[in-house]
Amino acid sequence: MKSDSGSPRRKVIIVLLVLMAAKLALQLLLNSRAGLHRDEYLYLAFADHMDWGYVSVSPMIGALSWIVKNVFTDSSFWVRFFPVLASLATMGLMGWMVLELGGGTVAVLLSGLAFMFSVAYLRTGGLFQPVPFDVLFWTVLDFLFFKWMKTREAKWWALIFPMAGFAFLNKYMIAPLVLSLVLAALMTKDRKQVFSRHGLAGIGIALVIILPNVIWQFSHHLPVLEHMAALNATQLVNVNRLGFLIDQLLMSPSGVWVWIAGLAALLVSPRWKQFRPFGWACLIVFGIMMAMRGKSYYTLGLYPALFAYGAVALERMAGWKGRVFRVTAVVFAVVLALPLIPFAMPVLSPPAMAKYAKSIGSPGLTWEDGKVHPIPQDFADMMGWDEVGRKVRDVWMALDETVRKDAVIYADNYGQAGSIRLYGRRDGVPEAVSFCDNYVLWAPDSLRLKTLIAVYEDTLHFGSYFRRAERLAVFDNPYFRECGSSVWVYSEPEPKLFREYKEWVRRRRGE
């Protein structure tokens, strides 16, 4: 396939670069409106605990966190610098795929607008989490698989498998994609190439890449399995399979017609038979995700490639009507996208967001608990944490210096613990003890204290372990996920605290 004569390659590249610049500007504007996310506080804490694995995620986010802390600063801009880069790289690779497919300016415009105005990619592109890098890795693998389909040369498997290994170090959910691509390839007449000497060499390199993380998991009693069990019991159990399918349409409203056109072309069009294995792989991924009750965003990595296929297919269908089609596509994408921009990042105040969401039917307000809330869950996770960190810091600093020597801070979850770390460390506030996620591995094996500062919902959790308790602060923002939590100061501990603490740590660590 070659680019159409009316759209020279240089013009196509210019359009792509303009779209990437627009994406960058829009992403930075939206990012400036949002506070740090609950999960970001955990990942930033990894910078102080570099390791080959963590309880709930792969180790790559820890390495990136170390770079943010030691090369840049942990200001909101620099924290989100790498997610923005990953999002732009994904968009650029998608545009490259359009060029390889022979697409012109219309195709680049269609795919670029679909990606740029996607609520899902605008949100993930602004959060320091494994997700934006996962989307990039999926797109890289989809591109390499495209190159294999185009050339049917076994050498591509020597790249696909090692890349999958690096992707594994970012997020374990790369496994469904790799399995789907392999199964789709095995359904073709070129199936032997998958496990040719190139493929086997690629598998060997991939195993070497992931080996340190695998060793870490086994040496820590496979915490990822416990995490997945907890995830399944508390979150995935609330995933509705029909809702999962509906969400696939809602994540990118302005681009849904583009990726559906791409999937349809891959599966039924004789002209696209060469690339049909990717269509099969997409169906397998959807099947795996629905079988395991995966979260809707687990499939986000599929769509940049589907945007590319769909945009080229639609461009070819438009034929000589390309100019009219181009204008219509731009207007259609913008009209669909603008009403949903407030759902991408918190550009509105919480009360205004709740009112706006209600006025248009409250899309995307179902949280992980399966219940509908006034604002998106991510937005509730992007507020209030700075207040938590600063109030705990103030309570700590108000203690007499002699009291601080025998004082410990406890946080009920990693959002609280991470915010205490970020906003208190410059004043010498120690890292909080917590049993949530990776903090349980960082917690001391035993305690020595006379005073405990704890962030928790009520006094009952530690009330029976101390003779005195005083509540010094309450978080009462109704839109904050931690609404109702308080800062307590406990003193005069009972002896049973020290005995039972050791058992708590051993049990939480699975020892």
Same-domain pairing of 263 and 394:
no
CA separation for the pair 299, 161 (Å, rounded): 20
What's the pLDDT score for residue 336? 78
Name every residue whose Cβ is closer than 8 Å to that of residue 104 and which is 6 or more positions away in sequence.
3, 4, 6, 7, 12, 315, 322
Task: Report residue 51's pLDDT band, with 50, 70 and 90 as the boundaries.
Answer: very high
- For residues 431-442, one letter each, b for 16 or more C-beta atoms within 10 angstroms of the residue's C-beta and e for the rest, the string is bbbbbbbbbbbe
Same-domain pairing of 72 and 202:
yes
CA separation for the pair 200, 107 (Å, rounded): 36
Domain membership flag for residue 47: yes
Question: Which residue reads 């797109």 in tokens?
Answer: 139
What's the pLDDT score for residue 263? 97
Task: Report residue 459's pLDDT band, with 50, 70 and 90 as the boundaries.
Answer: low
- 3-class state of residue 191 by DSSP: helix
Q: Strand pairing of 407-411 and 451-456?
A: parallel
Same-domain pairing of 281 and 393:
no
Domain membership flag for residue 324: yes
What's the pLDDT score for residue 221? 87
- 3-class state of residue 429 by DSSP: coil
Q: Name the helix (H) or strand (E) containing 466.
A: strand 466-474
Same-domain pairing of 258 and 399:
no
Task: Report residue 1's pLDDT band, with 50, 70 and 90 as the boundaries.
Answer: very low
What's the pLDDT score for residue 346? 84
More confident residue, 194 or 4: 194
Find the distance separating the first CA and the last CA of the chain, reported in whole Å: 59
Q: What is the rounded average pLDDT of the residues 459-472?
A: 83
Beta strands in 61-199 (DSSP E): none
What's the pLDDT score for residue 4? 45
Same-domain pairing of 332 and 401:
no
Residue among 101, 92, 83 nearest 36 (CA) = 83
Q: Domain boundary at 324, 347, 370, which?
A: 347
Domain membership flag for residue 372: no
Residue 157 and residue 196 in contact, taking contact as beta carbons nearer than 8 Å: yes
Task: Report residue 303's pLDDT band, with 50, 70 and 90 as the boundaries.
Answer: very high
Same-domain pairing of 400 and 288:
no
Q: Is the pLDDT of residue 187 over 90?
A: yes
CA separation for the pair 115, 136 (Å, rounded): 13
What's the pLDDT score for residue 26? 87
Q: What is the rounded average pLDDT of the residues 428-445?
A: 93
Domain membership flag for residue 415: yes
Q: Domain boundary at 292, 321, 347, which?
A: 347
Question: Which residue reads 């990595």 in tokens?
Answer: 301
What's the pLDDT score for residue 373? 85
Residue among 162, 88, 159, 169 nearest 130 (CA) = 169
CA separation for the pair 235, 230 (Å, rounded): 8
CA separation for the pair 101, 95 (Å, rounded): 10
**Model pLDDT for residues 379-388, shown as the tens digit of each residue:** 899 999 999 9
Task: Report residue 5's pLDDT band, with 50, 70 and 90 as the boundaries.
Answer: very low
What's the pLDDT score for residue 159? 98
Domain membership flag for residue 169: yes
Same-domain pairing of 143 and 199:
yes
Q: What is the rounded average pLDDT of the residues 33-50?
A: 92
- Relative orientation angle of helices 130-151 and 175-186, to the nearest 10 degrees: 10
**Model pLDDT for residues 346-355, shown as the tens digit of each residue:** 888 889 998 8
Same-domain pairing of 330 and 396:
no
Candidate from 93-97, 250-254, 321-325 with smallest mean pLDDT: 321-325
Q: Is the pLDDT of residue 318 over 80?
A: no
Task: Report residue 243's pLDDT band, with 50, 70 and 90 as the boundaries.
Answer: confident
Q: What percent of the chain has pLDDT over 90?
A: 61
CA separation for the pair 125, 117 (Å, rounded): 12
Name every residue whose Cβ is closer than 8 Å to that of residue 331 and which is 6 or more positions away in sequence.
none
Same-domain pairing of 460 and 343:
no
Q: What is the rounded average pLDDT of the residues 8-35?
A: 88
Phi/psi at 489 (5° precision): -120, 115
Name every residue whose Cβ is closer than 8 Å to that of residue 223 and which is 6 or more positions away in sequence.
55, 56, 217, 510
What's the pLDDT score for residue 196? 96
- 3-class state of residue 181 by DSSP: helix
Structure tokens at 155: 């050498």
Residue 205 and residue 165 in contact, taking contact as beta carbons nearer than 8 Å: yes
What's the pLDDT score for residue 453? 95
Q: Domain boundary at 288, 323, 347, which?
A: 347
Q: Is the pLDDT of residue 56 over 70?
A: yes
Q: What is the rounded average pLDDT of the residues 488-498?
A: 92
In the beta sheet, which residues pair with residue 474? 486
SS (H, E, C) 311-348: HHHHHHHHHHHHHHHHHHHHHHHHHHHHHHHHHCCCCC
Name every residue whose Cβ is closer than 8 Å to that of residue 488 and which is 6 or more positions away in sequence.
452, 453, 454, 455, 456, 459, 462, 469, 470, 471, 472
- Give me the helices (H) in 399-474, please: 401-404, 414-424, 439-442, 460-463
What's the pLDDT score for residue 398? 93
CA separation for the pair 61, 205 (Å, rounded): 21
Same-domain pairing of 146 and 192:
yes
Domain membership flag for residue 355: no
What's the pLDDT score for residue 210? 97
- Give me the helices (H) in 187-302, please: 197-219, 223-234, 241-250, 256-268, 276-291
Q: Is the pLDDT of residue 120 over 80?
A: yes
Structure tokens at 262: 């791409």
**Model pLDDT for residues 260-291, shown as the tens digit of each residue:** 999 999 999 999 999 999 999 999 999 999 98
Same-domain pairing of 199 and 277:
yes
Q: Is the pLDDT of residue 511 over 70?
A: no
CA separation for the pair 320, 276 (Å, rounded): 26
Phi/psi at 487 (5° precision): -105, 120
What's the pLDDT score for residue 328? 75
- Average pLDDT score over the chain: 89
What's the pLDDT score for residue 335? 80
Residue 163 and residue 137 in contact, taking contact as beta carbons nearer than 8 Å: yes
What's the pLDDT score for residue 321? 57
| Structure letter (DSSP) for residue 54 | -
Residue 22 and residue 120 in contact, taking contact as beta carbons nearer than 8 Å: no
pTM comes to 0.91
Phi/psi at 161 (5° precision): -65, -45
What's the pLDDT score for residue 30? 81
Domain membership flag for residue 323: yes
Q: Is the pLDDT of residue 6 over 50?
A: no
Same-domain pairing of 332 and 427:
no
Residue among 203, 185, 178 nearest 285 (CA) = 178
Q: Is the pLDDT of residue 363 over 70?
A: no
What's the pLDDT score for residue 329? 72
Instruction: Tally the domains of the chain.
Output: 2
Domain membership flag for residue 36: yes
Provide the domain limits for residue 288.
9-347
